[in-house]
Chains A and B, each alone.
Chain A
Amino acid sequence: MKALAIAALLAALPLAAHAADKTEAETALAAAVKAEDAAGQVGNRWVPAEAALKAAKAALAAGAWDKAVAEAAVAQAMANRAVEQSHEQETAWRDAVVR
């Protein structure tokens, strides 16, 4: 029984997620802030992106590095999409005009 438990533990080890450290969390947050600033520059901040950024900052302050990295990644991805959306819409909006 004991051998089985040890075997199961060993089998699970390679699957365990990499735990982030403070430096990784700070780097992820900095990238998210930069992306969100870019969304702000084009006047297209998204509510959930800002919420994720806020959650990332709170997690960083609380020492929850994994959560900070995950939330920052969400914020960064959404902010990047917001910038793309703005660039697309720079001309695409004209197609929607009632004529």
Chain B
Amino acid sequence: MRKFRGAAALILVAGLLAGAAPAPAASLASAAADQKAFQDNFRSRFPAVPFADFANGPYSVNAPMRKQWEEIMQFPPYDFALDEGKTEFAKPFANGKTYADCFPNGGIGIRQDFPYFDGKTGEVVTLDLAINRCRQANGEKPLKYQTGMMASLTAYMAETSRGKPFDIKIPDDPRALAAYEAGKKYFYTRRGQLNFACASCHVGAAGQRMRGDILAPALGILAAFPIYRSDWGSMGTIDRRFTSCSAQMRSTPLPPQDPAYRNLEYFLSYMSNGVPISGPGTRP
């Protein structure tokens, strides 16, 4: 009887602990399950959209808008940035080295592998961050993150990856899984005066109108970056989009390349594995 009591007490304590414990941490299996559920959600909601076409954001889910886009693409507004980025990419730094020396495959056709988790530093590294680290390692000043030459350089590098599917990996490293989980939490967390989450617009309301805009599905949403946005009248990077989305929610934007934004990019890109890179792109 005493033994039984002891066992019962143990079970009770274990039960209480289980109830009080935080939600289970992410695992590689749960991340893969997240990805499947995420992609299945968009596939089932937009059955007429070929999977690869999610790279085209709102144009994938709205026919009139797509027609306008196809006409715009006869003279893509990002072409100037593309040319500028190509020239800058090839231009040697003061020490004679170039961007190509910093990246695998000379920086050509690698956009689909970014962001990645760096096991040495324990952080998510985006293409934009890698570009600035390359510059600094070669004695150059870092570029501003949201527009200008950073957008031009990433436009060129994205263009060399067009058609290559996102191939984001989560290594079996608790820090990588924590970064993924932090990005996931950021994506689904409501914030700001309007009480919106990223998911409010880009999951629940994807394909619907928000005033004059058609909301892009979250699946493949980063595939076209950097973008020329008519609303901006210029090119913008992922940082520009994240900060402007934050401000639209009346949430004070984080600094560009804040770890929270990098984790968000990691999560979104991983969710989009298989969607081809289509950048640089245009958006209304």
Contact = CB atoms under 8 A, between A and B. Distances in A.
A93 B38 contact: no
B185 interface: yes
Given A98-B203, A99-B37, A93 B251 contact: no
| B: interface residue count bin | 20 to 34
B191 A78 contact: no
B193 interface: yes
Contacts of B171: none
B251 A44 contact: yes
Contacts of A89: 189-191
A45 B197 CA distance: 14
Interface stretch (A27-35, A46-54, A57-65): A46-54
Interface string A77-93: 01000100110010111
B191 A44 contact: yes
B193 A78 contact: yes
B250 A43 contact: no
B195 A93 contact: no
Nearest to B192: A46
A46 to B, nearest CB: 5
A1 interface: no
A78 B188 CA distance: 21
A50 B38 CA distance: 35
Contact of B184 (A45, A78, A97, A99): A97
Interface residues of A, number: 21
B247 interface: yes
A94 B195 CA distance: 15
A96 interface: yes
B28 interface: no
Nearest to A96: B188
A83 B43 CA distance: 36
A85 B191 CA distance: 7
A85 B252 contact: no
Contact of B197 (A43, A48, A49, A93): A93
Given A47-B192, A47-B247, A93 B185 contact: yes
B215 to A, nearest CB: 15
Contacts of B37: 98-99
23 contacts: A43-B260, A44-B191, A44-B251, A46-B192, A46-B193, A46-B250, A47-B250, A47-B251, A48-B193, A48-B250, A50-B252, A85-B190, A89-B189, A89-B191, A91-B23, A92-B190, A93-B185, A93-B189, A96-B203, A97-B184, A98-B37, A98-B38, A98-B203
